[in-house]
A and B are shown apart, each in its own frame.
Chain A
Amino acid sequence: MSASLRAFTRRLPEFLVIWVPMLLSAGHVVVFTLWTTWVSFTPSTLMPTDGWVGLRNYTAVLGTRNWKIAFDNLLLFGFSFMLLTTLVGLALAILLDQRLRGENVLRAIFLYPLAVSFVVTGTVWSWLLNPGMGVQKLFNSLGWTDFRFDWLVNRDMAIWTVVIAAIWQASGFAMALFLAGLRSVDADLLKAAQIDGAGPLRTYTRVILPSLWPITVSVLVILLQFAIKTFDLVRALTEGGPGIATQLPALVVYDFMFQRGNLGRGSAAAVLMLLTLLAVLLPYAGWTYLQRRRAGA
């Protein structure tokens, strides 16, 4: 009796240090999500109120052009942003891995965009991509008068300006993670490949890149949450325009909740956003679960 009590008190600090923060964090995730789901079924407008309106908020949100455009944009933006940033980050990492001179400076230059807030990034890129004052104007004044780069004011292409600005901001982080991964590849494996007579390309594709898979997953997770939460960047870059062409779910949530004073619809939009996310995460979780089962762990 007293032995197990002693064991318990001995392990108490450990329990507290592990469980209290984790429960707080997990708790806040669960409670906030449940709360938002509850609000989405109420007639809440400016303040959360009680009541039940069934799926009315959901049909209202799904029926707006804002949501339809935002959803399409999320798929387009999400996919291309994650893919391109990963590729750019990997490319930069491989380039930097060549032990060039001034590597510290180069690394700092590629990393610093992450230090800048999204609002500043969006604002500065809105100047750079503006046809009347940025890149297009530069090339035009240099003589290429036919050069056009007016994606920013083009309804169909504007979302790509967001992709560009986002890649600029996040690729440095992907680069840093990949670079660390490249540098910590098992030296024995490298030596073995060298002994086997593999050239640099072979070494990369057969030995190094496959070992980067865990890091790639980390990178993708971080980029995914960037993509889902993209808000300040779009607001500063395009304000959701031209018209409503660059709406994204996070903007729709904010717009409905706070600008239009409709917490019910805003919460419905948030729940829809989370459901979309689950549609991506659940298959992945299932796949890793299957992998683990197969590996017998």
Chain B
Amino acid sequence: MTLLSRRALLAASAGVLAAPVSTQIANAQTVKPRLTAISQWSAGSDGAAITALGKKFEEHGGLWQHSPVPGFTTEMMNKLRAQILAGDPPACSQLKGPEIEAWSKIAPTVNLDAIVAAAGYEKVVAPDLARIHKPGGKWAAMPLQIYRTNTLFVSKRAMDRVKADKLPTNWAEFNALAEKMKAAGIAYPLANGGSRPDDGQKFEASLAGISPTAYRAAIMNLDEKALKGPEMRAAFVQLRKLADWMDPNTASQAYAVHLPQFVAGDMGMMIQGGWAQGVLLNAGFKLDDFIIGPGPSDNGKPVFLLNADAFIFWQRKEADLQAGQKLMAQLVMDPAIQTMYSQITGSIPVRTDVDLSGPGWSDGQREAAATLKAAVAANQSVLSLAHNMAQENGMTAAMIDVITEYVKNRAITPDQAVARLSEAVEGAR
């Protein structure tokens, strides 16, 4: 009898804790929730968003201890590794993609299944995305926001110069438009950056646009036959076209250096992540300087290349950290919080049931969210390779080595590239 009633008590308190955020949280905690977090978001809109999230955390009675690690993801992972080695992992840390599963094998993570189930969250998350955050089948990480990496940006002035009025929807139309731009005197129809993710993005946009099924098989599942298939060759052919339309003097600079030319119409188009919209606006350009649309898709149905940031939760014994983790997980699932976060960074929320018709959203975000829904329905939402969502970092880096060499070296033929890519995959297994 006593055992049953104790169990009932535990179940009841768990139910109370997992109840909807806005009403139950403040009452349920007896210990002040605290959260130690590390991320690479120290500046810009990412920094602003995470700081705003922290304020919300504190509004709900928690103590927010976020320590941003300057640098890129590698520096943050070094810090995480050092903390784990020292036996002192942060309560939550930024991590994404298959790395979540890889890291979850090193140190114990928190099982968030109960919290997620209580909020009915899994229903409103794209299945591919959910899978990544459930290493070993149990929720251990929470996604924060979604970006599309194959967003098409077209310069208004460039369109006017070639008297075009429709956005290209497939690669044939894209190539035709680029040729038109070249003929009209636009030296570089495609504005690009020189970094590895940039080159990777062009490739993945090409392949996913040609055949999302081939993309899923080759890039996400590393199927040997698919890696040597005709779609891969076609993707490299398309990539070569794209490379020829890019400015060779970019060296290793970020794509942002070309924004002035893009807006002025001296560069015609951009295939970038959705974050570029925020960058354009922050650089002083206006929304009507450019048009946003989905990346080219050859089979008529939208393709969405997905990039999502997330926080992974590490097991801690301290009661206040555990309470903090619960609070954080609940906050991050809350549609109001997701709205706030995505409006600051320009991303789209993870939940597919958020209404984007309000004033804080831009048309670009609305279009992206609608495309995501449609792509999920058509099973054409795939994970980005260039942003470490499709594969672990080691495999991704090996594949991007081949891709970036191909982009920067005209002497490599598409067939050679296909062969090299499958060799690289074998070598990195």
A78 at the B interface (CB under 8 A): no
Given contacts A130-B253, A241-B404, contact A261 B392 (CB under 8 A): yes
B407 at the A interface (CB under 8 A): yes
Of A45, A46, A150, A155, which contacts B409 at CB under 8 A?
A: A155
A206 at the B interface (CB under 8 A): no
Given contacts A47-B106, A155-B408, contact A60 B427 (CB under 8 A): yes
By a CB distance below 8 angstroms, the chain B residues around A66 are 401
- Secondary structure at the B interface, as helix, strand, loop or mixed, is helix
A243 at the B interface (CB under 8 A): yes
Q: Which of B374-429 contact A (CB under 8 A)?
A: 392-394, 397-398, 401, 404-409, 427
B102 at the A interface (CB under 8 A): yes
Q: Is the CB of A153 within 8 A of B249?
A: yes
Question: Which residue on A lies nearest to B429, using beta carbons?
Answer: A60
Question: Which residue on B lies nearest to A242, using beta carbons?
Answer: B408
By a CB distance below 8 angstroms, the chain A residues around B248 are 153
Least distance between B129 CB and chain A CB atoms (Å)? 22
Binding stretch for chain A, among B21-29, B74-82, B328-336: B74-82
* Chain A 267-282 near chain B by CB (<8 Å), digits 1 or 0: 0000000000000000
A13 at the B interface (CB under 8 A): no
Given contacts A46-B81, A258-B77, contact A241 B393 (CB under 8 A): no
B99 at the A interface (CB under 8 A): yes
Number of A-B contacts (CB under 8 A): 84
CA A245 – CA B405 in complex, angstroms? 8
B85 at the A interface (CB under 8 A): yes
Given contacts A60-B427, A130-B251, contact A46 B408 (CB under 8 A): no
Q: Is the CB of A239 within 8 A of B397?
A: no
Q: Is the CB of B252 within 8 A of A238?
A: yes
CA A261 – CA B99 in complex, angstroms? 9
A210 at the B interface (CB under 8 A): no
Q: Which of B242-256 contact A (CB under 8 A)?
A: 247-253
Of A65, A132, A261, which contacts B102 at CB under 8 A?
A: A261
* Chain A 41-79 near chain B by CB (<8 Å), digits 1 or 0: 000011100000000000010011110000000000000
By a CB distance below 8 angstroms, the chain A residues around B405 are 65, 243-244
Question: Which residue on A lies nearest to B107, using beta carbons?
Answer: A47
Report the count of interface residues on B (CB-CB < 8 A).
33
CA A45 – CA B394 in complex, angstroms? 10
Least distance between A170 CB and chain B CB atoms (Å)? 22
Question: Which residue on A lies nearest to B420, using beta carbons?
Answer: A65
B221 at the A interface (CB under 8 A): no
CA A259 – CA B103 in complex, angstroms? 13
A174 at the B interface (CB under 8 A): no
Least distance between A110 CB and chain B CB atoms (Å)? 27
Least distance between B220 CB and chain A CB atoms (Å)? 18
Q: Is the CB of B74 within 8 A of A258?
A: yes
By a CB distance below 8 angstroms, the chain A residues around B397 are 255, 259-260
By a CB distance below 8 angstroms, the chain B residues around A155 are 408-409
CA A152 – CA B251 in complex, angstroms? 7
CA A243 – CA B252 in complex, angstroms? 9
By a CB distance below 8 angstroms, the chain B residues around A150 are 249
CA A63 – CA B81 in complex, angstroms? 28
By a CB distance below 8 angstroms, the chain B residues around A238 are 251-252
Q: Is the CB of A126 within 8 A of B427?
A: no
By a CB distance below 8 angstroms, the chain A residues around B253 are 126, 130
By a CB distance below 8 angstroms, the chain B residues around A130 are 249, 251, 253
Given contacts A47-B84, A261-B392, contact A241 B251 (CB under 8 A): yes
A85 at the B interface (CB under 8 A): no
Least distance between B46 CB and chain A CB atoms (Å)? 20
What are the nearest 9 A-B pairs in CB distance?
Answer: A260-B394, A243-B405, A132-B249, A243-B408, A242-B408, A239-B252, A131-B249, A243-B404, A260-B397
A153-B249, A237-B252, A242-B408 provided; 16 other pairs, C-beta below 8 A? A45-B394, A64-B401, A64-B427, A126-B253, A155-B409, A238-B251, A241-B252, A243-B409, A256-B394, A258-B74, A258-B78, A260-B394, A260-B398, A261-B99, A261-B392, A261-B394
Residues of B that sit less than 8 Å from A by CB: 74, 77-78, 81, 84-85, 99, 102-103, 106, 194-196, 247-253, 392-394, 397-398, 401, 404-409, 427
Jot down 12 A-B pairs with beta carbons below 8 A, ordered by A. Answer: A60-B427, A63-B427, A126-B251, A130-B251, A239-B252, A241-B194, A242-B408, A243-B401, A243-B407, A244-B401, A245-B408, A262-B394
